[in-house]
Amino acid sequence: MSTPTTNIRTALEAASLLEAPEALALLRGCCPDTTVFSTSFGKEDQVLTDIIHGLGGGIRIFTLDTGRLFPETYSVWTSTLERYGLPVAVYVPEQADLEAFIAGYGPNAFYASPELRQACCRIRKVQPLKRALAGAEIWITGIRAVQSPNRQGMPRWEWDEANGIYKFHPLLDWTDERLEDYVRRHEVPCNMLHERGFPSIGCAPCTRAVRPGEDARAGRWWWEANDRKECGLHQHGSAGAGA
């Protein structure tokens, strides 16, 4: 059942003034069948899963399995299923597209050029994401502003023109200390790579550890210029009206 757009915007405005659990409860009430949460099992996403579990579920959780994730990510994915018992829907790349890409350009084509890197992200992430978001109205993400210069000044909610959906970032203003404190107090299962200098964890060939003081996303596609370091999942500045 579709909720009128004005109601969603009103709910997002109200939610943007609330703490994460209350905000998620409000949005779930506004769009009970069409509020979705994407997890990559990073620390922020694990905190949101813990919060959703605390609310009794009711928000559809999905993940994108690119086929190139770290073994540690599959481990924490398993721990998360065991700990919370919440279903996690999985979206994988289209077989024919992936086979043609690998056959045409090799298994590590992403290092060859920005265009091939973006093509890989498109096949392994962006296209599966479109299937995951089909029919959804509000997309919950674990984005925090301190993760990257690209994410500074973002609104807590925004309209994502590329995907035709409202996005809400409950942890946008959370500091590292607040995140760590939550994880500790709630004993949230976390990816072991965080302990080894990986603040942001994506595909294994495209993520490395960062040095102390480096930008949290400096380890993602480190061979590319900073202003190109998004994979196409999150595009900002598209008519966000939130505070």
68 near ligand SF4 (CB under 6 A): yes
Which residue has tokens 């709630």?
A: 186
Tokens of 188: 């949230």
Q: Contacting ligand SF4 (CB under 6 A), which of 59, 138, 172, 206?
A: 206
203 near ligand SF4 (CB under 6 A): yes
66 near ligand SF4 (CB under 6 A): yes
Rounded to 5 degrees, φ, ψ at 157 are: -135, 155
202 near ligand SF4 (CB under 6 A): yes
How far apart, in whole angstroms, are the C-alpha atoms of residue 120 and residue 125? Answer: 8
Write down the least CB distance from residue 119 to ligand SF4, Å.
Answer: 8
Find the catalytic residue in 30, 120, 206, 231: 231
Q: Contacting ligand SF4 (CB under 6 A), which of 28, 60, 117, 169?
A: 117
84 near ligand SF4 (CB under 6 A): no
Q: Is 237 left (phi over 0), alpha (psi -120 to 50) or beta?
A: left
Q: Contacting ligand SF4 (CB under 6 A), which of 61, 183, 231, 233?
A: 231
User: Distance of CA 42 to CAs 146, 190, 225, 243, Å?
Assistant: 15, 7, 23, 25
User: Distance of CA 83 to CAs 80, 185, 186, Å?
Assistant: 5, 15, 12
How far apart, in whole angstroms, are the C-alpha atoms of residue 166 and residue 160? Answer: 6
120 near ligand SF4 (CB under 6 A): yes
Q: Choose between 225 and 239: whose C-beta lies nearer to ligand SF4.
A: 225
Q: Contacting ligand SF4 (CB under 6 A), which of 83, 205, 208, 224?
A: 205
Closest residue to ligand SF4 using C-beta atoms:
203
- Percent of residues in the chain assigned helix, strand, coil, to nearest 5: 45, 10, 45
Tokens of 235: 């595009």
Q: Is 231 labeled as catalytic in the residue annotation?
A: yes
124 near ligand SF4 (CB under 6 A): yes
Q: Contacting ligand SF4 (CB under 6 A), which of 121, 133, 183, 210?
A: 121
229 near ligand SF4 (CB under 6 A): no
- For residue 243, the tally of other CB atoms under 10 A from its CB is 9
- Number of residues in contact with ligand SF4, rule: CB under 6 A? 13
- Residues at the site binding ligand SF4, with contacts judged by CB under 6 A: 66, 68, 110, 117, 120-121, 124-125, 202-203, 205-206, 231
